[in-house]
Amino acid sequence: MEILNTAAALQAQTETWRREGKRIGLVPTMGALHEGHLQLVRAAAQECDAVVVSIFVNPTQFNNPDDFRLYPRLPEADAALLAPAGCTALFLPAVTEMYPQSTVLRFDFGALEQVMEGAHRPGHFNGVATVVSKLFHLSRPHRVYFGQKDLQQVAIVRQLIADLSFDLELVAFPTVREADGLAMSSRNRRLDAEARAIAPRLYQGLQLAEKLVQGREASPAAVQAAAQELLASEPALDLEYLEVVDAQTLQPLTDWQPHRAVAVCLAAHLGGVRLIDNVVIEG
């Protein structure tokens, strides 16, 4: 596995692969890798001839400076995990490499970003769209791999790909969970023992919502209220939002739509760490 630190080195490498007719897979990450990331890398290695994994804690997508400062950074440990998973090139740029000058371009994803993460983290998806576009241009992948834990991010990137005619296929993978149900996340490393013991409660709230959505008997508002009530019974959990939405448009539901998948999405603060999770229920 090669480690590339500059945009020019990544471009040169991916241009060579393209000339050789190789199919390129890209797995964009911010590092502190876990099994969820590694499943994406293994899938990319199976489906592509060369796999680029980027590790870049992207400052432009953090609306909270403490979250950026405290985001776990473990490049050596990450590199050791990546080679056995099938990564061909690890792209590990400095901030000045990705942002030699400050960006002025602004993305507007309309209704898609006016809910949930977009509503609660101003500028977040602008930063994601900026860095993902740069990574697409530098690595020119045939396929790009994302985890569905960031459901709204997947929807935003899908829109970005369509609107800017990026010639690549987005592959979304289901959320990978710990044995007790907690969605794997790089931020889980920041949970202390007490918070870690409480964290699976989030998935319990989502599972309750999932069961109720499957029955389609309670209204979306009643499903939301039931899950919120379960989570409110844990005083250490500070729920930021819990929404019952259409899984594609991500707009809150007032009623069930026939044959449409539903998503229940949440964000919560626990022991100073912000966690997100979701479940998708097929229509």
Please report, as ranges, the residues that interact with ligand PAF according to CB under 6 A.
Answer: 28-30, 58, 61, 128, 131-132, 150, 153
Amino acid at 77: A
Nearest to 22 by CA among 98, 89, 93, 84: 89
Q: Which residues pair with 238 in a beta bridge?
A: 269
Amino acid at 119: A
Closest CB to ligand PAF among residues 33, 244: 33
Instruction: Name the catalytic one among 37, 120, 124, 142.
Output: 37
Closest CB to ligand PAF among residues 93, 220: 93
For residues 104 and 130, is the Cβ–Cβ distance under 8 A?
Answer: no
Question: Which stretches of the chain are DSSP H helices?
Answer: 7-19, 35-47, 65-70, 75-85, 95-98, 116-120, 124-139, 151-163, 193-198, 201-215, 220-232
Residue 34 is a catalytic residue: no
Shortest Å distance, C-beta 150 to ligand PAF: 5
Nearest to 278 by CA among 154, 125, 186: 154
Shortest Å distance, C-beta 283 to ligand PAF: 26
Shortest Å distance, C-beta 110 to ligand PAF: 20
Closest CB to ligand PAF among residues 126, 153: 153
Closest CB to ligand PAF among residues 42, 124: 124
Shortest Å distance, C-beta 73 to ligand PAF: 13
The residues annotated as belonging to the active site are: 37
